[in-house]
C-alpha cells in the first residue's frame, strides 16, 4: 500500500520545462567538454556552395545528443566568427564614415577652390580689360603729347618770327641823308596833347629846320601821331607801339641817333619810370645815344616775359570763333 502511494507521488512530480532545459544545457556542456567532440568528431562548418569533402553531420550511429551537441558547437563557432566579422565590419564602417567625412570636407574645399578660381578668372579678365584700356589711353596721351609738342614748337617758331618782324630794324633809305639838329631840353617839356600845328616862340626856327630839309624834329615826329606806351598794354600793346613808332620813323625819315630820344618821349606811367631808371644808370647822353636795336632788345626783355608769351600761345591754341563773330575772331587772330 505504501509502495503504491510512493509511486503515485513520483508520478505526480513530473519535470517542468525549466528543469528539462537546465538538464539539456548540462548535458550539452558535458558533451561539448569532451575532447573527441572538439578535436575529431565535430565536423567544421561548411558554407553554402562549399564543395570540399567532409561531412556536415556527425557519422551515422552517433547518438542524438552527441549530434545535437556537435550542432551546438558548430553554431557557437559560427557565432564567434560572426562576432569577429561584426567587429571587422564595425571597424570598416567607422573607417568608411571617417573617409566619407573627409571626402565631404575635400569636396567642400574643392568647391571653394573652384569658386575662388572662377572669381580670380573674372578679376583677371577685368584687369586685362583695364590694362588694354590704359594702354589705349597711354597711346592716345602719347600721340596727343607729341601733337602738343609739335604745336608748341610751331607756335614758338611762329611767335618768334612774328616778334622778329617787329624788332627787326627797318631798312635804311638809300636817299639823301639829312642833318638832324639836337633837341633841346625844352622839347621834352611840351604837352603831348597840345596841337603840334600851334607855333610857339621857337616856331620859326622849327619851320626853318623842317623847310631846310635837315631831318625831322620832335614836333614833326609828334605830327605823325605816334602811339603812347604805358607798359600796361601787355606784350601785344608793346609790339604795336614799336610797330607804330617805326612806321613814324620811316615817314619822318628820322635819323638813327634820334630814334630812342624821340620814341622815349611818348612813354608814360610805369614805362616812363622804367626808362628814367635806365637814364639814371646810363646818363642822359648814354641813354639817348643807345641804338634802336638795343632799346627794343631791353624793352623786349622787360615786357616780353616768357610767361606772357606762354599765355599768348595758350590763348592762340584755344582761340575759337563763337557764332558769327568772324570779324572779332580775325582781329584777335592777327593780333597773335
User: Ranked by mean pLDDT, which of 27-36, 72-81, 178-187, 305-314 comes out on top?
Assistant: 72-81
Q: Which of 107-111, 215-219, 274-278, 294-298 has the lowest mean pLDDT?
A: 215-219
> Could you tell me if residue 104 is inside a domain?
yes
- For residue 126, pLDDT over 80 is answered with yes
**Quick one: 140 and 32 in the same domain?**
yes
What pLDDT is stored for residue 174 in this prediction? 45
What pLDDT is stored for residue 56 in this prediction? 52
**Quick one: 32 and 135 in the same domain?**
yes
**Quick one: 145 and 223 in the same domain?**
no
> Could you tell me if residue 286 is inside a domain?
yes
> Could you tell me if residue 317 is inside a domain?
no
* Residues 199-225, mean pLDDT to the nearest whole number: 59
- For residue 103, pLDDT over 90 is answered with yes
For 271-280, what is each residue's pLDDT tens digit? Answer: 888 888 888 8
Share above pLDDT 90 across residues of the chain, in percent, rounded to a whole number = 9
**Quick one: 31 and 143 in the same domain?**
yes
User: Ranked by mean pLDDT, which of 66-75, 97-106, 196-205, 298-307 comes out on top?
Assistant: 97-106
Banded model confidence at residue 105, pLDDT cuts 50, 70, 90: very high
Q: Which of 153-157, 192-196, 232-236 has the lowest mean pLDDT?
A: 192-196
> Could you tell me if residue 197 is inside a domain?
no
What are the cell numbers at 75? Answer: 553554431
* Residues 124-148, mean pLDDT to the nearest whole number: 87
**Quick one: 33 and 146 in the same domain?**
yes
- For residue 226, the enclosing domain spans 218-304
Taking the C-alpha atoms of residue 63 and residue 56, their distance in angstroms, rounded to an integer, is 16
* Residues 168-175, mean pLDDT to the nearest whole number: 46
Banded model confidence at residue 217, pLDDT cuts 50, 70, 90: confident
Give the domain-ending residue among 114, 130, 162. Answer: 162
Q: Which one is predicted more confidently, 8 or 267? A: 267
> Could you tell me if residue 206 is inside a domain?
no
What pLDDT is stored for residue 151 in this prediction? 78
pTM of the model: 0.33
What pLDDT is stored for residue 111 in this prediction? 93
What pLDDT is stored for residue 304 in this prediction? 74
**Quick one: 32 and 145 in the same domain?**
yes
- For residue 329, pLDDT over 60 is answered with no
**Quick one: 222 and 150 in the same domain?**
no
**Quick one: 32 and 136 in the same domain?**
yes
Write a three-state SS string for the chain. CHHHHHHHHHHHCCCCHHHHHHHHHHHHHHHHCCHHHHHHHCCCCCCCCCCCCCCCCCCCCCCHHHHHHHHHHHHHHHHHHHHHHHHHHHHHHHHHHHHHHHHHHHHHHHHHHHHHHHHHHHHHHHHHHHHHHHHHHHHHHHHHHHHHHHHHHHHHHHHHHHHHHHHCCCCCCCCCCCCCCCCCHHHHHCCCCCCCCCCCCCHHHHHHHHHCCCCCCHHHHHHCCCCCECCCCHHHHHHHHHHHHHHHHHHHCCCHHHHHHHHHHHECHHHHHHHHHHHHHHCHHHHHCCCHHHHHHHHHHHHCCHHHHHHHHHHHHCCCCCCCCHHHHHHHHHHC
**Quick one: 32 and 118 in the same domain?**
yes
What total of structural domains would you count in the chain? 2
Banded model confidence at residue 55, pLDDT cuts 50, 70, 90: very low
Q: Which of 16-20, 245-249, 261-265 has the lowest mean pLDDT?
A: 16-20
- For residue 186, pLDDT over 90 is answered with no
Q: Which one is predicted more confidently, 158 or 299? A: 299
**Quick one: 143 and 33 in the same domain?**
yes
**Quick one: 132 and 225 in the same domain?**
no
**Quick one: 149 and 258 in the same domain?**
no
* Residues 116-132, mean pLDDT to the nearest whole number: 90
> Could you tell me if residue 81 is inside a domain?
yes
* Residues 237-263, mean pLDDT to the nearest whole number: 87
> Could you tell me if residue 11 is inside a domain?
no
Amino acid at each position: 500500500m505504501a509502495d503504491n502511494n510512493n509511486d503515485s507521488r513520483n508520478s505526480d512530480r513530473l519535470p517542468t520545462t525549466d528543469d528539462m532545459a537546465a538538464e539539456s544545457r548540462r548535458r550539452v556542456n558535458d558533451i561539448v567538454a569532451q575532447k573527441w567532440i572538439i578535436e575529431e568528431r565535430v565536423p567544421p562548418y561548411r558554407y553554402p556552395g562549399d564543395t570540399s569533402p567532409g561531412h556536415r553531420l556527425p557519422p551515422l550511429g552517433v547518438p542524438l545528443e552527441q549530434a545535437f551537441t556537435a550542432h551546438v558547437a558548430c553554431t557557437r563557432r559560427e557565432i564567434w566568427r560572426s562576432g569577429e566579422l561584426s567587429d571587422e565590419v564595425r571597424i570598416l564602417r567607422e573607417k568608411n564614415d571617417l573617409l566619407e567625412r573627409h571626402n565631404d570636407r575635400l569636396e567642400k574645399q574643392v568647391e571653394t577652390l573652384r569658386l575662388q578660381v572662377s572669381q580670380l578668372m573674372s578679376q583677371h579678365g577685368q584687369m586685362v580689360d583695364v590694362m588694354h584700356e590704359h594702354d589705349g589711353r597711354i597711346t592716345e596721351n602719347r600721340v596727343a603729347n607729341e601733337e602738343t609738342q609739335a604745336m608748341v614748337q610751331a607756335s614758338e617758331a611762329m611767335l618768334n618770327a612774328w616778334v622778329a618782324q617787329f624788332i627787326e630794324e627797318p631798312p635804311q633809305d638809300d636817299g639823301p641823308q639829312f642833318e638832324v639838329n639836337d633837341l633841346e631840353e625844352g622839347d621834352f617839356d611840351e604837352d603831348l596833347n597840345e596841337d603840334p600845328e600851334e607855333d610857339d616862340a621857337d616856331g620859326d626856327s622849327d619851320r626853318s629846320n623842317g623847310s631846310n630839309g635837315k631831318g625831322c624834329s620832335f614836333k614833326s615826329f609828334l605830327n605823325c601821331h605816334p602811339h603812347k606806351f604805358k607798359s600796361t598794354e601787355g606784350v601785344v600793346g608793346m609790339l604795336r607801339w614799336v610797330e607804330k613808332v617805326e612806321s613814324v620813323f620811316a615817314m619822318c625819315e628820322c635819323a638813327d641817333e634820334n630814334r630812342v630820344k624821340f620814341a622815349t618821349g611818348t612813354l608814360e606811367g610805369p614805362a616812363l619810370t622804367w626808362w628814367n631808371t635806365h637814364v639814371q644808370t646810363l646818363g642822359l647822353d648814354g641813354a639817348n645815344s643807345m641804338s634802336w636795336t638795343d632799346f627794343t632788345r631791353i624793352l623786349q626783355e622787360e615786357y616780353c616775359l616768357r610767361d606772357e608769351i606762354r599765355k599768348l600761345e595758350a590763348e592762340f591754341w584755344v582761340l575759337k570763333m563763337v557764332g558769327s563773330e568772324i570779324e572779332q575772331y580775325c582781329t584777335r587772330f592777327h593780333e597773335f
